[in-house]
A = this chain, B = another copy of it.
Amino acid sequence: MDYVSFASDYMEGCHPAILELMRATNRDQHAGYGTDKICASARAHIQEACACPNAAVHFLAGGTQTNACVLDALLAPWEGVLAATTGHIATHEAGAIERSGHKVIELAGERGKLPADRVREAAAAWETDANHDHMVRPGVVYISQPTEYGTLYTLEELEGLRAVCDEYDMRLYVDGARLAYALACDVNDVTLSDLARLADAFYIGGTKCGALLGEAVVFPNPSTCPQFFTLTKQHGALLAKGWLLGMQFEALFCDDLYLRVGRPAIEAANAMRRAFEERGYRLMFDSPTNQVFVELDDATARSLAEHVGYSFWEKTDRGHTIVRFATSWATTQEDVATLGRLL
C-alpha cells in the first residue's frame, strides 16, 4: 500500500507554472540581488494585488529569516514584540528574534489568535507602569494569518488590532507563511488589500504556498524601512540570485494564481474533516484552513502512522493525542481518499 504524507505543506517542489518559467529562463542572464526585471515585474504585480502602488516589496528565502529581518526593521532596540504563546516566533524559531536583540513578550492566545483586548491590556499595563523605563516596551504586535492552529482573523478582528496599535503607537505585523490557504478559504473575509491597509508589514508566503521557496515582504508605506535591503544583507538574508525568488512571485501573481493556488488544499482539508467527523473523530481548534487537527487514541495513531504521515501536536491525556494533518497546493482528493480508507 502507498504512503502519503500530510506532515507539512512544504514537502513538495513547486507549482508547474513556476517550474516552467524556471526552465524557460534557465540560461538567461539576470542582474543580482533582486535588481533584475523579473523582480521588478513581480513587485508591480504584488503592488497591484494589494491595491498599494507604492508598497516596498522585498523577496526573502524563508519564514524565520523574514520574521527576524522585519521585526528588526520595525522595532527600536529597546522594544519587544507581542505574540501569542503559540506564535511561531515564540516557540519554533530557536530564539532567532532574541538573537537579534529583541524580547518576544508572550500573551496567552485563543485558538492561536491574539484578541485585541488582550493586546490592549498588555500595552496599557506597560504604559501605566511607573517603572516602564526599566521594562521592554511592546513595539510590534505579531500575528499570523492563518495562525499556527489554522484559524483565521476576521476583518473585524484585524481592525480591532489596528485600532489598539494606533492607540498605543505600536506597529502591526502579519506573518503570512500560509496566506494562500487563508485567501482560498470560504469563510475568509480578509483580502490582500485589507492587509496592506491595516498592517505596517506583512509577508506573502511562498515556501508553503506553491513556490519552490521564498517569501514576499510588503511594507505598505515605503518609508517604513528605507534601508531594508542592507538590513537583510546584514542578516545574511540577501540572495545573490534574487531573481530566483522574484520568479516565484512573478508566476504566482500572474493571473492571480496566488488566490487560487491554495484551493486544492482547502478542498482536500474539507474532505478530510468530513471523513474524520463521519467516523466520530474529534476535530480541534475549529480550523477552516489547510491544517486539520484531530484527537486520536494512541492505538489508531500508531497504526495510521504506518501508511500516513502527520505531525504530533500535543498529548491530551493518557491514551490520546492531538495530531495535525496538513494539506498543500499539491494534495489531491485521491490522497484524502487514501487516508479515508485507513480510518
Contact = CB atoms under 8 A, between A and B. Distances in A.
Interface of A: 4-5, 7-8, 10-14, 16, 19, 22-23, 25-33, 61-69, 72, 76-78, 80, 91-96, 98-99, 101-104, 106, 130-131, 133-137, 207-208, 212-213, 227, 229-231, 233-241, 244, 309, 312, 330
Nearest to A228: B78
15 contacts: A12-B30, A14-B26, A29-B309, A61-B62, A63-B240, A77-B99, A78-B231, A80-B98, A95-B136, A99-B101, A134-B233, A207-B239, A207-B240, A212-B244, A213-B244
B19 A234 contact: no
A221 B15 CA distance: 39
Contact of A13 (B25, B101, B106, B312): B25
Nearest to A104: B103
Given A11-B32, A241-B10, A134 B22 contact: no
A8 to B, nearest CB: 6
B233 A93 contact: yes
Given A13-B26, A244-B213, A234 B78 contact: yes
Contacts of A63: 240
Contact of A330 (B25, B27, B77): B27
- Identify the interface centre among A16, A98, A137: most chain B CB within 10 Å of its CB: A98
Given A101-B99, A101-B101, A330-B27, A236 B64 contact: yes
Nearest to A19: B26
Nearest to A15: B26
Given A19-B22, A94-B234, A99-B234, 8 more contacts: A10-B240, A11-B30, A61-B239, A64-B233, A94-B135, A95-B101, A98-B136, A213-B240
Contact of A230 (B11, B78, B234, B240): B78
Nearest to A101: B99
A68 B32 CA distance: 20
A33 B64 CA distance: 12
Contacts of A233: 64, 93-94, 96, 133-134
B12 A62 contact: no
Contacts of A66: 236
A20 to B, nearest CB: 10
A77 B239 CA distance: 20
Contacts of A238: 62, 64
A63 B236 CA distance: 8
A11 B62 CA distance: 21
A224 to B, nearest CB: 14
B230 A94 contact: yes
A239 B227 contact: no
Contacts of A26: 12-14, 16, 19
B240 A62 contact: yes
A133 B227 CA distance: 8
Contacts of A213: 239-241, 244
